[in-house]
Amino acid sequence: MKIGNFVTQGETFLAPMAGVTDFPFRVICKKYGASLLYTEMINAKALSYGDDNTFSMLEVKPEEGDVAVQIFGHEPEYMAEAASILSDLGRFKIIDINMGCPAPKITKNNEGSALMKDPKLAFSIIDSVKKTSKLPVTVKFRKGWDENSINAVEFALNAEAAGVDCITIHGRTREQYYSGKADWDIIEKVKKSVKIPVIANGDIFSIEDASSIIKKTGADAYMIGRGSQGNPFIFSQIKDFMGGNEIKEVSDIEKIDVMLEHYNLSIKYKGEDKTVREMRKHLGWYLKGMYGSAKMRDDINHINSADEVKQMMRDYRASLTQND
C-alpha cells in the first residue's frame, strides 16, 4: 500500500492515542513490529501560536522510522497553518486529521467526531489542509455520530472527493465512545465504496482478531490502539502470522524486560519526574494478568522514585525466575 511516498508491507499501525503514544512508547512499538506510528493528537491552534508544550509533543526519534502526525481543530485557517508548520519540520510522513475523537471537551468545540455532524466544515478543513500540506493528508473518523446518523460511507466518499490520500475508520459511533463491539461491516462497506486506501480500526486485541478483520474488511492496513497497551508484541505477532511464520509467545519475564527498557527510555528522554508519573499506566498494562502483580501495581502508583520502581520490577522478575 502507498500513501504518498510512504509504502508499507508491514501493514499494522500504532493508532494515535492521547496520553499514550508519546515517543518512548512509539520507539518500543516500532522495535516490536509496528509499521507506521501515530503521534498523540496535536492541537492545531496551539501549534499555530507556537505553544511550547504542543511543540514538545512533536519530538520524534530516528529509531521510530515512519511517523504520522495527527492534528485536531475546527478552524480551517489554523488547521492549514498547522499543516504548513508540520510539513516544514521534515519529521513526519503523513498529516492525519482527527474527525473521530468522542471526548466532550473536543466535540463541544465542533472538533473530532463532531465534524461528522458538520460535513461542510469537515470538508472545508480538508480542503484548507490539502492546500498548505506538503505531505499526504489522511482523515480518521468513525461510523457516525450515533446509530441514527450513520454516515461513514458518504463521509468517506466526500473525503476522497476532497482529495485525501487515505482514510482510517473506527467502526464505532461517537455515542459508543469505546464501548460495545466495533462494527467491521461498516469498514467493509467503506472499503468497497472508495478507491483510496482504507485503514481498518477497532477491537484488534489478538492474532485471531487480526485474522478476522483482514478476512472481513479487505482493508489495506490495520490500526491497533488499546491492543498495544502493555502488549507491543502484538505487532510482530501479527506480522509473523501474515507472513506465515511461527508466532512467538512472549513470557512474563520477557514482558518485564521490555517494561524496563520502556521505563529507561522514558527516563533518558523525559527525566525521572515525568517518567514516574506518565509510566504508571503503562506499567499497569504490562503487569495486567501477571501472577501476584496486583500489589505491585498498587505500590507503583504511590512511589515517586524511579530507582525504587525499577528495583521493584527487578525483584518481581527475580521472583518469577524462581517460580519457573
Ligand X SMILES: Cc1cc2nc3c(=O)[nH]c(=O)nc-3n(C[C@H](O)[C@H](O)[C@H](O)COP(=O)(O)O)c2cc1C
Annotated active-site positions, please? 101
Helix (H, G, I), strand (E, B) or coil at 69: strand
Task: Give the residue carrying C-alpha cell 502526525.
Answer: 69
| Rounded Cα–Cα distance for residues 283 and 108 (Å) | 32
227 contributes a contact to ligand X by CB under 6 A: yes
Shortest Cβ distance from residue 40 to ligand X (Å)?
5
- Does position 170 bind ligand X by CB under 6 A? yes
Q: Are 310 and 299 in contact (CB under 8 A)?
A: no
Under the binding rule (CB under 6 A), the answer on residue 26 touching ligand X is: no
What φ, ψ does residue 137 adopt, rounded to 5°? -115, 130
**Residue 262 near ligand X by CB under 6 A:** no
Q: Which residue is nearest to ligand X (CB)?
A: 225
Q: Which of 113, 173, 201, 293 binds ligand X (CB under 6 A)?
A: 201
Where would I find the H helices in the chain?
23-31, 44-48, 52-56, 76-89, 104-107, 119-132, 152-161, 184-193, 207-217, 234-242, 252-270, 272-287, 294-300, 306-323
> What is the Cα–Cα distance from 147 to 62, expressed in whole angstroms?
42
Count residues near ligand X (CB under 6 A). Answer: 23
Residue closer to ligand X, measured from CB, 110 or 264 = 110
Q: Is 165 in the site for ligand X (CB under 6 A)?
A: no
**Separation between Cα atoms, residue 131 and residue 122, nearest integer Å:** 14
In the complex with ligand X, which residue's Cβ is closer, 18 or 85? 18
Site string for ligand X, 86-115 (x = CB under 6 A): ------------x-xx--------------
Using the contact rule CB under 6 A, the part of the chain among 156-164, 219-227, 258-266, 299-307 near ligand X is: 219-227
Distance CA 102, CA 81 (A): 24
Q: Which of 6, 22, 30, 40 forms a contact with ligand X (CB under 6 A)?
A: 40
Q: Does 70 bind ligand X (CB under 6 A)?
A: yes
What's phi and psi for 201, nearest 5 deg?
Answer: -145, 140
By the criterion CB under 6 A, which residues form the site for ligand X?
15-20, 40-41, 70, 98, 100-101, 140, 170, 178, 201-204, 224-227
